[in-house]
Homo-oligomer: A and B are copies of this chain.
Amino acid sequence: MSAASARPAPAAEPALLDRADPEAEIAKAAAAYSNWGRWGAHDVLGTLNFLTPARRLAGAALIRRGEAFSLSQRFDMNGPQRGWRRRTNPVHTMLDTGTDAAAGKQGFPHGIGGADDVIAMPLQCSTQWDGLGHIFDHGMAWNGRAAADTVTSDGDLVTGIEHFAAHLAGRGVLLDVGRVHGDERGELPDGYAITRQDLESTAAAHEVEVRPGDILVVRTGQFARTVREGWGEYAGGPAPGLSLTTAGWLHGTQIAAIATDTWGFEVRPNEFDVPAFQPLHQVAIPNMGLVIGEMWDPEALAADCAADGVYEFFLTAAPLAITGAVGSPVNPIAVK
């Protein structure tokens, strides 16, 4: 059973990449899988347009037991960030505490006391959605807009993540590639490039169909490995992830969004013999308008799916409505 069965076949992607020429490979994929203009000149939703009320309603029908699962990692100092691009782990500090209240230091009447807190964090420090303004291709942002007209120091003036606020609830599908194609622990090795065939055979093994408007969650097992072994280079180092060659599949399936349990969604090191950086992002975000999630924790959900054999569910993963943000932390909730 393939994702293609329910709709026109996606454009065929090249079987092989020219590993010496990332710019050409990216350009080819960008041209082949662009969605610029597909939803009009003023679009700010990208592939979230595929997530229609009808498809959301269909997703709701998957709630059969009422069990809820959080797919969020913890937000705290014990995170993977090491400062690359000034990304730190979240710094959570208290404005008021129980020790203060107990010591009688708060000055409130009738015995009330309180605690309050503050956070400072990069919006992409942990479990997150990338906004459409997160990545540019040769100075162009999603839907053919100039990057310089879209994201300034004031934030994303056009496609800020606040536009996603009400949209990210729908049918969720877990593709546990780690379990199907990985080692005995259900983990893919770092550097493993997940192909279209891997995705389709995983769906087949799960007896689940990928449909337009879906929010896919791809489990590689890398996060589980960090839980066991420590963060190591999770934030930017080698990792399993999607191959650039999956761009056509991502386009053709008409999924609304896709998230992984890795830092960077796509395989790392990237699939070129010359300097390259996140080529699938460059195709998917500015050209395809694909909504990408990273650093999710699918472990509890994956264990449940493995136990009951049901890999589809209702998924709500609402970003914070931060005006002009190009990313947002999120606590995705799957309900089965």
Contact = CB atoms under 8 A, between A and B. Distances in A.
Interface of A: 22-23, 26, 52-60, 63-70, 72-78, 83, 85-103, 105, 108-124, 127, 133-139, 141, 146-156, 162, 165-169, 274-279, 281-282, 300, 314, 316, 318-327, 329-333, 335
Nearest to A95: B86
Given A94-B93, A321-B72, A135 B153 contact: no
Contacts of A87: 95, 116
Contacts of A151: 94, 97-99, 101, 115
24 contacts: A26-B110, A56-B335, A57-B63, A68-B167, A76-B322, A77-B83, A91-B118, A98-B146, A98-B152, A99-B147, A99-B151, A100-B153, A109-B275, A111-B282, A112-B135, A112-B282, A114-B134, A114-B135, A115-B326, A116-B123, A119-B120, A166-B300, A318-B318, A318-B333
A138 B335 CA distance: 39
Nearest to A332: B318
A279 B100 contact: no
Nearest to A148: B102
Contact of A74 (B93, B113, B133, B323): B323
B326 A116 contact: yes
A105 B116 contact: no
Q: Is the interface of A mostly helix, strand, loop or mixed?
A: mixed
Contacts of A93: 86, 93-95, 118, 153
Contact of A119 (B117, B123, B146, B282): B123
A54 B68 CA distance: 11
Nearest to A331: B318
A299 B169 CA distance: 19
A294 to B, nearest CB: 12
Q: Which of A63, A141, A274, A321 has the most CB of B within 10 A?
A: A321
Given A23-B110, A57-B64, A97 B97 contact: yes
A127 to B, nearest CB: 8
A152 B86 CA distance: 14
B95 A99 contact: no
A324 B137 contact: no
Nearest to A323: B76
A155 B98 contact: no
A166 B333 contact: yes
B282 A98 contact: no
B123 A117 contact: yes
Nearest to A122: B118
A22 B108 CA distance: 12
B116 A327 contact: yes
A197 B324 CA distance: 42
Lowest 10 A-B CB distances belong to which pairs?
A57-B66, A98-B147, A53-B66, A98-B151, A113-B136, A102-B148, A60-B63, A56-B66, A76-B323, A316-B316
B277 A101 contact: no
